[in-house]
Amino acid sequence: MENQDIEEIRQAVRQLCSNYSEDYWLGLDRTGGYPTDFVKELTTSGFLTVLIPEEYGGAGLGLREACVVMEEVCRSGAHAGACHAQMYVMGSVLRHGSDYQKKTYLPKIAAGELRLQSFGVTEPTTGTDTTSLKTVAKKEGDEYVINGQKVWISRIEHSDLMVLLARTTPQSEVSKKTDGLSAFLIDVQAANGNGLTIQPIESMINHHSCELFFDDLRIPADNLLGEEGKGFRVILDGMNAERILIAAECIGDGRYFVDKASAYATNRIVFKRPIGQNQGVQFPIARSYTQVEAAALMVDKAVDLFDAGEPCGAEANIAKLLASEASWQAGDVCMQTHGGFAFAKEYHIERKFRETRLYQIAPISTNLILSFVGEHVLKMPRSY
């Protein structure tokens, strides 16, 4: 897409976000509410469904356009974590779903009639050791029976569908530990109370996360996503897109913090001069700007590879690491620039500060990215 078209998307997203002030997000933060109106408008305007092909009612655009949307949402002061999963979870259905699944679900997702906002992978005892997960799905006739537990499953209370990863063949019976895992589409509304129990988790970060308990949940065998035993590939295909999109959000957060800090430092007068005239205030902001812009270049590289269909695992991981660290540092500088006022909720900084901190932990921790780079890029011995 041409730069002019990208800029038009930026401007349109900014205009939409301007209808939802930071006070809107502050109100939701105070009540633990979900931005239903915002997500609905983002969907009906086509921004949340840019990756869905036109034949299914979407815009049929690339990951670059999706990243622009998420970046601008975050730069506006909004919280993209409330809806970003639909961008990358939907790809699992698009790439691995049957014709029936794609024709049934994708047009409804594109129209905003259904939300696919949840990704059921993480478990309490395994964390990011995905291949050791303990949730099982046993086939009985034309159904699968699911038992197990998941944790940190975000937006499940505000989603109609979830992609779930469960083991269908015991790990002891497969030659590769990544085999024997299967992905399923779960109708959340039908499952809730009928084998699925949802328990919200109180946390410092606004992701509406929950713990899930599966007790003989029965789902149709047709809900299998892709091939039985090949679900790890279904999940992996969405992970590079997830990392790149999260990195783009961090760029938006970082630019939000730099914008806020530089404006405040210019206008705040102490000792009869703007505090931004002091190098001790000005230089950290300038350094944060350079770090965010450098990370943005890595995000661009990862996006180019992804949209070209080229391998991009290393670039996606590096982009996420650099962008998350740059946004966190920019947030810290923004807090320091505002001094005591940074702790006042009316300035909105502390909320964004909490939100951007998550991305050094999720969707993958900084140390796991470093171990990936060490082993797969630098060819050093496996560290775990």
**Do 237 and 373 fall within a single domain?**
yes
Q: What is the pLDDT of residues 92-119, one digit of tens each?
A: 898 899 999 999 999 999 999 999 999 9
Which pair of tokens denotes residue 363?
Answer: 């969707």
**Do 90 and 49 fall within a single domain?**
yes
Domain that holds residue 101: 3-114
Residue 137 lies in a domain: yes
Residue 383 lies in a domain: no
CA angle 235, 323, 293 (to 5 degrees): 140
Residues lower than pLDDT 50 in the chain: none
Amino acid 2: pLDDT = 61
**Contact yes or no for 170/152 (Cβ under 8 A):** no
Amino acid 382: pLDDT = 93
**Contact yes or no for 237/96 (Cβ under 8 A):** yes
- Dihedral angle at the C-alpha atoms of 375, 378, 379, 381, nearest 10 degrees? -50
With a threshold of 0.75, does the pTM exceed it?
yes
Q: Rounded CA gap, 228 and 141, in Å?
A: 14
**Do 169 and 223 fall within a single domain?**
yes
Amino acid 236: pLDDT = 82
Amino acid 316: pLDDT = 96
Q: What is the pLDDT of residues 202-250, one digit of tens each?
A: 988 777 899 999 999 999 999 999 999 999 999 887 889 999 999 999 9
Residue 382 lies in a domain: no
Q: How many domains does the chain have?
A: 3
Which pair of tokens denotes residue 275?
Answer: 């505090």
Amino acid 200: pLDDT = 95
Amino acid 282: pLDDT = 98
The contacts of residue 73 (CB under 8 Å, 6+ apart) are 13, 17, 42, 79, 80, 249, 252
Amino acid 1: pLDDT = 54
Which residue, of 94, 114, 134, is where some domain finishes? Answer: 114
Residue 384 lies in a domain: no
Instruction: Tell me what percent of the chain is helix, strand and coil, each rounded to the nearest 5.
Output: 60, 15, 25
